[in-house]
Structure 1
Amino acid sequence: MNTTTPPPPRTIRRWRQYLADERAEAAVYRELAGRRDGEEREILLALAEAEGRHEAHWLELLGDQVGKPLRGDLRTRMLAVLARRFGSVFVLALAQRAEARSPYEDDDDATSAMAADEAIHEEVVRGLAARGRNRLSGTFRAAVFGANDGLVSNLSLVLGVTAAGIPAGAVLATGIAGLLAGALSMGAGEYVSVRSQRELLEASIPNPDADRALPHLDVDANELELVYRARGMTAAEAADHAADMLASLHARGEQPAPPAAEHAAHEAIGTGIGAALSSFCFFASGAVIPVIPYLFGLTGVPAMIVALVLVGIALLGTGSIVGLLSGTSPLGRALRQLAIGFGAAGITYLLGLLFGAAGV
């Protein structure tokens, strides 16, 4: 009589944990799907269905040893909570990292198809997260990077002048001046940038007044072909496109189509004043943090320590956000941001000490 040796308890526990994790991951995708519609919803539900197939594999191996259901790992359970509450690109970025940590590649009890599924799931979630990142407004990105600029530049300025030995009142005045100067510079630069973009756009978009000439073109000569050839079409493509345009024009009763391209492009760029105000506020929101201890009357080393702690927390926050948006480790990006910010501040502090010692 053939008997099958039951798997050891350690193996049973591993299979049961895999089963719990698959159920938890499927729940994450269903929660995310519940906050979306259309194609994204269908993709997320398909991912949940795939996790269900993996769940069936572990159920089959466990047989009557399934036992009491376990809880998924802490990360996956936290993802489910976040997906239920927010369903944002940040959750997708975390889900992408979770898929990348799949152990199936090195586990003989998982099928090669399951390992391949997990690798492809990572790419699917990466694609969905990329859609979300692209939908994030430029204003949000500008907020993160503008605040970070304010944090690092004003912390460096405040520490530098403190190290040089100037009085606390002068340090506070310098910090406020640095905040205003930096914020105004950022705002002015953004205004010039946006205005320049709009002016270049206006120079490149076809003149809507030219449409009035279209009904009167000589169809045989068809100067419209030259317009399209000047824009990069071949002679044959230009001829076909010009003929289609004239035919469409006559079908509309010789009424040119409204020039919507310029309006849409201007909407995408935004206004110079709006961009300038945003940049001013973003920079100022970061630059004010190093000044806070001096505003409350602290001086010397205690003020510097409090400023470093406050700025360090803010740098860790902005670094984590950058990590999530880029699909990389939030902790790694947070520590990198902290190291860069404190490195710049440390160099400025040492220069302040040198200038102070030299009596400059």
Structure 2
Amino acid sequence: MTDTHLPAEPEPSASDIRRWRQYLADERAEAAVYAELASRRHGEERAILLGLVDAERRHEAHWLRLLGPHVGLPLRTKLRTRLLGFFARRFGSIFVLALMQQAESRSPYGDDADATVAMAADEQIHEEVVRGLAARGRTSLSGTFRAAVFGANDGLVSNLALVIGMAATGVSNSIVLAAGIAGLLAGALSMGAGEYVSVRSQRELLSATLPNPGTHAILPNLDAEANELALVYRARGMAPADAEAHARERLYGLECVHGDDPAVTRAASHDDADAHAAVGSAWYAAFSSFCFFSSGAIIPVIPLFFGLTGLAAILVAAILVGVALMLTGAVVGVLSGAPPLKRAVRQLAIGFGAAAVTYVLGLLFGTQVG
């Protein structure tokens, strides 16, 4: 008699069980983050986030099948994922989506034989989905955020360079402190005014590219056989043949000639909204630049307020500014979907490089004066 029983599945190893249970915990936690974000959204964004919840539940079911009776008690998720859940519950902001984008990009499923090919592909698609959701927030944030980051970084670096450069010349502590405060006020006012003028000018330049709203009123007066209406559409990006066809439709009454041209108005208004959102508000940019420059520039002056002088003041200022530069770089990394540590180190190197050059020049100047 032939034995028709299939061979029993081999028992998973202890390391496999631990890894699968960790995957299970992470999938559950990520599903909870997406569900929390969905509860704070509506419409299409909510539907997209709930679709991600369903996908994470499918992955959860895969690990449950592999674990079978070895599921055990729920494991604690990674600290990063727990923090994401906390932020999603408290804020539900662009920061959470940016962090989730990074989490999805670091999925280990591509190198794990126990995860299916479809699961690995899912994680890559999830990264793109989250990237798309985060893009909307990044666009609205980019103008003001650019001014804020630039202002804080400039305040940190320029005033640190000023303070340690003055200290290196050997002048008294009161003069260094006065120079630091003067640098703070002058830089903050200059940054705020510069950002306002810059952003305002950019918005005016973008507005100048929009169609003149009164142009549609003269369409009935154009010669139907010889006119430049097609050139308008070509200038807005239409192919020559499409531009000619659309111009004929407009002039021969296939569309209503009394009203705005949908082909131009819709495209122009959409482009205008996107462009203006990316640039941001001039007043917001100026205010955030002023405030963040001031908050950055005050840090190198703090040791002087507490009476530190000479090398001690320089070292403490450098440490405080270094921490602030790394935090600024890390925030930029998070929001841009890049590794925070890499951005933090880059910010630190650039800032300290500029300050070091100024310090050396201060030493040389002080030596020459002496």
TM-score, normalised with respect to structure 1: 0.85
Work out whether 1:218 is the aligned partner of 2:223. Answer: yes
- Segment of structure 1 superposing worse, 5-14 or 198-207: 198-207
Which of 28, 48, 57 is the matching residue for 1:52?
57
Aligned with 1:130: secondary structure?
Answer: helix
Query: Is the contact made by 1:12 and 1:62 (CA closer than 8 Å) also made in structure 2?
Result: yes
Work out whether 1:300 is the aligned partner of 2:310. Answer: yes
Query: Is the contact made by 2:147 and 2:286 (CA closer than 8 Å) also made in structure 1?
Result: no
Distance 2:111 2:168 in 1: 55
One-letter amino acid of the counterpart of residue 339, structure 2: S
Label 1:117 to 1:220 Cα distance change in 2 as closer, same or farther (>3 A). closer
For residue 4 of structure 1, report the CA deviation from its aligned partner. 4.8
Work out whether 1:136 is the aligned partner of 2:146. Answer: no
Deviations 1:11-33 (A, max 9, x none): 32332222222222221221222
Q: Which blocks of at least 5 consecutive residues in structure 2 are unaligned?
A: none
For residue 272 of structure 1, report the CA deviation from its aligned partner. 5.3
Q: Which blocks of at least 5 consecutive residues in structure 1 are unaligned?
A: none
- Segment of structure 1 superposing worse, 151-160 or 230-239: 230-239
One-letter amino acid of the counterpart of residue 364, structure 2: L
The match for 2:333 is 323
The match for 2:359 is 349
- Segment of structure 1 superposing worse, 227-236 or 153-162: 227-236
Identity %: 67
For residue 199 of structure 1, report the CA deviation from its aligned partner. 4.9
Work out whether 1:339 is the aligned partner of 2:349. Answer: yes
Q: 1:261-300 counterparts in 2 under 5 A?
A: 268=277, 275-300=285-310
Label 1:334 to 1:296 Cα distance change in 2 as closer, same or farther (>3 A). same
Distance 1:290 1:177 in 2: 13
Deviations 1:154-175 (A, max 9, x none): 1111100110111122212222
- Segment of structure 1 superposing worse, 32-41 or 5-14: 5-14
Query: Is the contact made by 1:99 and 1:122 (CA closer than 8 Å) also made in structure 2?
Result: yes
Deviations 1:191-232 (A, max 9, x none): 443354355446544444544433433344445345445556
- Segment of structure 1 superposing worse, 20-29 or 225-234: 225-234
Q: 1:241-256 counterparts in 2 under 5 A?
A: 241-246=246-251, 251=256, 254=258
The match for 2:87 is 82
RMSD of aligned C-alpha atoms?
A: 3.3
Distance 1:270 1:25 in 2: 32
Aligned with 1:320: secondary structure?
Answer: helix
Distance 1:233 1:51 in 2: 43
Label 1:196 to 1:78 Cα distance change in 2 as closer, same or farther (>3 A). closer
Aligned with 2:73: secondary structure?
Answer: coil
Label 1:247 to 1:302 Cα distance change in 2 as closer, same or farther (>3 A). farther
Label 1:275 to 1:77 Cα distance change in 2 as closer, same or farther (>3 A). closer
One-letter amino acid of the counterpart of residue 172, structure 2: P
Deviations 1:89-140 (A, max 9, x none): 2112222222233333333332232233223323332333333322324112
The match for 1:124 is 129
- Segment of structure 1 superposing worse, 48-57 or 208-217: 208-217
Aligned with 1:136: secondary structure?
Answer: helix
Distance 1:162 1:87 in 2: 45
Distance 1:234 1:68 in 2: 63
TM-score, normalised with respect to structure 2: 0.83
Distance 2:231 2:66 in 1: 71
Deviations 1:228-255 (A, max 9, x none): 4555655543443334445679947x46
The match for 1:25 is 30
For residue 153 of structure 1, report the CA deviation from its aligned partner. 0.8
Distance 1:105 1:195 in 2: 47
Aligned residues: 359
Label 1:12 to 1:354 Cα distance change in 2 as closer, same or farther (>3 A). same
The match for 1:179 is 184
Which of 181, 196, 199 is the matching residue for 1:194?
199
Query: Is the contact made by 1:157 and 1:348 (CA closer than 8 Å) also made in structure 2?
Result: yes
Label 1:341 to 1:48 Cα distance change in 2 as closer, same or farther (>3 A). same
Query: Is the contact made by 2:64 and 2:71 (CA closer than 8 Å) also made in structure 1?
Result: yes
Q: 1:3-14 counterparts in 2 under 5 A?
A: 3-14=8-19
The match for 2:114 is 109
- Segment of structure 1 superposing worse, 303-312 or 211-220: 211-220
